[in-house]
Amino acid sequence: MDDREEAGALARRRRRFDGWTLLIWIGGGAVYLFLVVPVLVIILSAFSPNPYPEFPPTEFSLRWFREVFQSEPWMRAIGFSLWLMLIVTVLTVVLGTTAAYGVSRLEFRGKQALLSFMLSPLMIPQVVMGIALLYIFTAMGIIRTMAGLVIGHIIVSFPYVIRTVGVSLSNLDPKLERASMNLGAGPVQTFFRVTLPLIRPGIVAGGVFSAVTSFGEVSISLFVVSPSNMTVPVRIFNYIDQTFDPSVNAISVLFIAVAVLALIIIERTIGLTKVM
């Protein structure tokens, strides 16, 4: 009698347990759906021949992709964005890697404050950064030039390199560098022969983050860009601010593809969980 009662209570508890688990899974699933639906809608619209998206889709067409590839302004913007991305990535990786190394190997008062300063562009409202740069670039005479854009993009990409390279550096066994020094190598030689090859995953991941950040940056770019040198996101912004054009869908699909590619590279090099 007692036994049976207890078994009943246990079964009830297990049933309740299953109910909660089910509820959480449904809730969590809905959240992921909420995250993914907008992306799916864009992809769906990009391959539809109609100017307005419909659900369910009736036809498949590459019309909007063709329109993008035949449009001279879009292609010029894509070319410009890719150029910019290349320059920004190289410079950010060099500046960020050296700075991350310097900080990790030094002990001084205010080191934590310095690190926060280097990571601060992630938190500062970008509109504020935009007008601060607008003012100083105007004073320097580099407003609406490529140099201004490069500088602005480096500032927002910099923290990512500091983080990814920082992760790699903290995973590095300090004995390896010490061994190299003990064997008579100087700090420069040790850095290039020992440290650099070992932190390559962090550098690659940082480079991917910089590239993706630069390619998608719009908040700061809007303040310093010129109409003749327009990046793709700024052009998209100006476009959808005024009219609705489905070729933006096709461009977006390209961006999403780039993002997924970047994701794969980061996962292969340093692991997503460590840097996000």
Structure tokens at 188: 């420069």
Of 202-221, which residues contact other proteins (CB under 8 A)? Answer: 212, 215-219
Binding mask 141-170 for other proteins (x = CB under 8 A): ----------x--xx--x------------
List CB contacts of 89: < 8 A, sequence separation 6 or more: 157, 207, 210, 211, 214
Binding mask 235-254 for other proteins (x = CB under 8 A): -xx--xx--x---xx-xx--
Regarding 192 and contact with other proteins (CB under 8 A), the answer is: no
Task: Please state the φ and ψ torsions of residue 48, each to the nearest 5 degrees.
Answer: -100, 145
By three-state DSSP, how is residue 106 classified? coil
Among 7, 10, 22, 41, binds other proteins (CB under 8 A): 41
For residue 233, give the nearest of 80, 65, 66, 45 by alpha carbon: 80
**What is the C-alpha R_g of the chain?**
25
DSSP state of 194: I
Among 98, 170, 171, 226, binds other proteins (CB under 8 A): 98
Regarding 259 and contact with other proteins (CB under 8 A), the answer is: yes
Q: How far apart are CA 55 and CA 107, in angstroms?
A: 59
Q: Residue type at 1?
A: M
Q: How far apart are CA 124 and CA 25, in angstroms?
A: 35
User: Which of the ranges 63-71, 166-174, 180-188, 197-205 carries the binding residues for other proteins, by CB under 8 A?
Assistant: 180-188
Of 15-34, which residues contact other proteins (CB under 8 A)? Answer: 16-17, 20, 24-25, 27-29, 31-32, 34
Q: How far apart are CA 240 and CA 90, in angstroms?
A: 31
Of 48-87, which residues contact other proteins (CB under 8 A)? Answer: 52-55
Please report how close the Cβ of residue 3 comes to other proteins at its closest, in angstroms.
Answer: 18
Regarding 188 and contact with other proteins (CB under 8 A), the answer is: yes
For residue 134, give the nearest of 225, 4, 211 by alpha carbon: 225
Q: Which is nearer to other proteins, 128 or 179 (CB)?
A: 128
Judged by CB under 8 A, how many residues of this single chain contact other proteins?
A: 90
Q: Which is nearer to other proteins, 172 or 258 (CB)?
A: 258
Q: Which is nearer to other proteins, 1 or 276 (CB)?
A: 276
Q: How far apart are CA 104 and CA 190, in angstroms?
A: 15
Q: Which is nearer to other proteins, 151 or 204 (CB)?
A: 151
Among 37, 86, 176, 179, binds other proteins (CB under 8 A): 37
Helical ranges in 55-199 per DSSP H: 63-70, 72-105, 111-119, 126-140, 146-171, 174-182, 187-190, 196-198
Of 105-144, which residues contact other proteins (CB under 8 A)? Answer: 105-106, 114, 117-118, 120-136
Please report how close the Cβ of residue 129 comes to other proteins at its closest, in angstroms.
Answer: 8
Please report how close the Cβ of residue 83 comes to other proteins at its closest, in angstroms.
Answer: 17
